[in-house]
Amino acid sequence: MAEIVVGAMGSLLPKLANLIKEEYNLQKKVRGEIMFLETELKSMEAALIKVSEAPIDHPPDIQVKLWTREVRELSYDLEDSIDKFMVRIDGGKKPSKHHSFKGFIDRSLSLLTKGKIRHNIGLDIKDIRSRIKDVSERRERYKFDQVPSKPVGRTIDNQRLSALFRQASELVGTEGKSNELVRRLMEGDDTSKQQVIVSIVGFGGLGKTTLANMVYDKLKRQFHCHAIVFVSHNPNMDKIFKNMLHQLDEDKYENINEATWGEEQLIKELRKFLQRKRYLIVIDDIWDTSVWETIQYALIENECGSRIITTTRILDVAKQIGGIYQLEPLSPADSIKLFYQRIFGSEDKRPSGNLTEVSRKILKKCGGVPLAIITVASMLANKNGKENTPDFWSKVCQSMGSGLDGSTNVKNMRSILSVSYYDLPPHLRTCLLYFCLYPEDYDITAKDLIWKWIGEGFVHREQGKSLYEVGEGYIDELVNRSMVQPVNIGPDSKIIACCVHDMVLDLVSFLSNEENFLTTLGCQQPMSLPTNKIRRLSLQTWNEEDAEQLATMTVSHVRSLTVFNKALNLMPSLSTLPVLRALDLSGCRKVNNQHCKDICNNLFHLRYLNISRTPITEIPKEIGNLQFLMILDISGGTDIKKLPSSIVELQHLLHLHVNKKSLPDGLEV
HEC readout, 139-176: HHHHCHHHCCCCCCCCCCCHHHHHHHHCCHHHCCCCHH
β-bridge pairing 608-610 and 519-521: unpaired
Q: Are 200 and 214 in contact (CB under 8 A)?
A: no
Other CB atoms within 10 Å distance of the CB of residue 525: 17
Q: Are 604 and 627 in contact (CB under 8 A)?
A: yes
Residue 385: CA count within 13 A, CB half-sphere: 2
Going by C-alpha positions, the residue among 558, 623, 615, 543 that lies closest to residue 586 is 615
> Which pTM value belongs to this model?
0.64
pLDDT given for residue 169 in this prediction: 37
pLDDT given for residue 92 in this prediction: 43
At 64 the three-state DSSP class reads: helix
**At a CB cut-off of 8 Å and minimum separation 6, what does 406 contact?**
329, 367, 368
Residues of the chain with pLDDT under 50: 22-24, 92-115, 117, 149-169, 401-410, 525-526
pLDDT given for residue 288 in this prediction: 86
pLDDT given for residue 531 in this prediction: 62
What does the alpha-carbon distance between residue 95 and residue 648 come to, in Å, rounded to a whole number?
A: 19
**At a CB cut-off of 8 Å and minimum separation 6, what does 595 contact?**
574, 585, 611, 616
Other CB atoms within 10 Å distance of the CB of residue 101: 8
pLDDT given for residue 29 in this prediction: 63
At 265 the three-state DSSP class reads: helix
pLDDT given for residue 7 in this prediction: 61
What does the alpha-carbon distance between residue 545 and residue 548 come to, in Å, rounded to a whole number?
A: 5
Cα 231 versus chain centre, distance: 19
What does the alpha-carbon distance between residue 319 and residue 316 come to, in Å, rounded to a whole number?
A: 5
pLDDT given for residue 134 in this prediction: 73
Q: Are 413 and 503 in contact (CB under 8 A)?
A: yes
What does the alpha-carbon distance between residue 205 and residue 395 come to, in Å, rounded to a whole number?
A: 24
Q: Are 373 and 331 in contact (CB under 8 A)?
A: no
Helices (H), 382-435: 390-399, 410-423, 426-433
